[in-house]
Amino acid sequence: MKKLLVTSALAGVLVSSAAFAQTTITGELRVNYKAVESKVSSGTTALSGRGFGNEQQINVQTKGKLNVGGLDYAAGFAIENDGQQASTIFNENSYIDLTNSSSGTTISFSQDHIQRADTDRSAAVIFGFTPNEFSSGGHASTKFSQTLGTAVGQSWTASILQKVGDFGTLSYSYAPTLANGASDTGSGAAFFSNTMGSGNSETFLEVDKEAGYEYGFVGSLGIKGLNAYVFDGAATAKGANTSIPHTFSYGANYNMGQFTVGYAYKRYNADSTNLDNKEKHYGLAYAIDDKQSIGVVYAKANVESSAATQKVTGINYGYALGPVDLTVGLAKNKDVGVVSGQDQDMAMIRLIGKF
């Protein structure tokens, strides 16, 4: 699930017992409306459409102390349905974390949980809709990504995180296998289609897409108002595969009172052609008051050897309505899919209810 920065924290329902020191159940419901007007430079293949989308999520989380070593623990999972999802509703934010609070070290066995690059992360999107959301769903496939290349964090990983004072948090994640056998043919483009990356509780699955790793850093670098990150990762291949997916991304935003500025860069190999995809995002936001914000985002994406560059310019407006958050966005897309003349305009509205 892509996180909207303008939202406030979810309300929790506390369930206490001797077995579970502190357990919370939280949830979220998203309802979106999207309208797309597509255009082409010539011919009559101009498509448009509109409609609603929805997503529901329930989070179950617990935390407490282990009876050895004085370690803290946290565990949880989410049930997430995106539209009318037929499978993989349990592949989000599942984890068991063991933490030494005195050293700031955490060992995490998890999926879709720790800090990582393979979300729709963009430091330039201060709040609201991302370049991918602003450009997908039209007559052509967008080149702006939700997941980057290896997408290590969407598989089950063993990870270590280390807090470094006020500087930030370093992380390393390792996934023994990055896909399950049900959807990975073991060669070609399917090598890059990341899924659950695990078997059931007694088995494992491994195919031609083998292991993956990612290094990361997220933090303020000790500067008040700064949020910075950098990630680097890759996967190993075997069998008939010769393409090695990789990712590299970094970004930062800086808050100056009511104004926040941001920049993000992504480079990744997301298909079997060994061609690099690159994205650059720029953003600016202004907090009108404690409930309203307005922001703009500009982004461009290109593929190595492509003649065209896809560009999107969007504006977001957010209003915090207490238990419900409202976001409205408008965007203009040019050369969608890095094809000259494939343009489209978009309007989006999103309501998020928290419980």
The count of other CB atoms within 10 Å of the CB of residue 223 is 13
Q: What does the alpha-carbon distance between residue 205 and residue 53 come to, in Å, rounded to a whole number? A: 33
**176 contacts 117 by C-beta, under 8 angstroms:** no
User: Contact at 8 Å (CB) between 2 and 348?
Assistant: no
14: Cα separation from own chain's centroid: 28
Which H or E run contains 297?
strand 292-303
Kindly list the structural domains of the chain, giving each domain's residue range(s) and its CATH number in brackets, ordered by start. Answer: 13-354 (2.40.160.10)
Averaged over 253-261, what is the pLDDT? 97
Per-residue tokens: 97: 């974390």
Higher pLDDT: 336 or 191? It is 336
Top pLDDT among 296 and 84 is at 296
Mean pLDDT, to the nearest integer, of 18-32? 82
Residues 6+ apart with CB under 8 A from 5: 125, 126, 127, 128
Give bridge partners of residue 160 from the DSSP assignment: 107, 172
Which pLDDT tens digit goes with each residue over 104-126?
Answer: 999 999 998 999 887 788 999 99
Q: Read out DSSP for 197-219?
A: ----TT-----SEEEEEEEEEEE
pLDDT band at 309 (very low <50, low <70, confident <90, very high): very high
pLDDT in tens, 156-193: 899 999 999 999 999 999 988 775 433 343 434 444 44
Q: How far is CA 239 from the centre of its chain?
A: 30
Q: What is the pLDDT of residue 290?
A: 93
Q: Enumerate the H helices of the chain as residue ranges.
A: 131-135
More confident residue, 203 or 227: 227
d(CA 327, CA 285): 13
pLDDT for 7 equals 36
Q: pLDDT tens across 26-71, in order? A: 999 999 999 999 877 555 556 678 899 999 999 999 999 998 888 9
> What pTM does this model have?
0.85
Q: How sure is the predictor about 353, in pLDDT bands with cuts at 50, 70 and 90?
A: very high
> Among 193-202, 275-284, 317-326, whose mean pLDDT is lowest?
193-202
- Is 275 within 8 Å of 269 (Cβ atoms)? yes
Of residues 231 and 147, the one with the higher pLDDT is 231
The better pLDDT of the pair 80, 3 is held by 80
Angle, vertex CA 133, rays to CA 316 and CA 173, nearest 5:
110
Residue 99 has pLDDT above 60, yes or no: yes
How many other C-beta atoms are found inside a 10 Å radius of the C-beta of residue 222?
A: 11
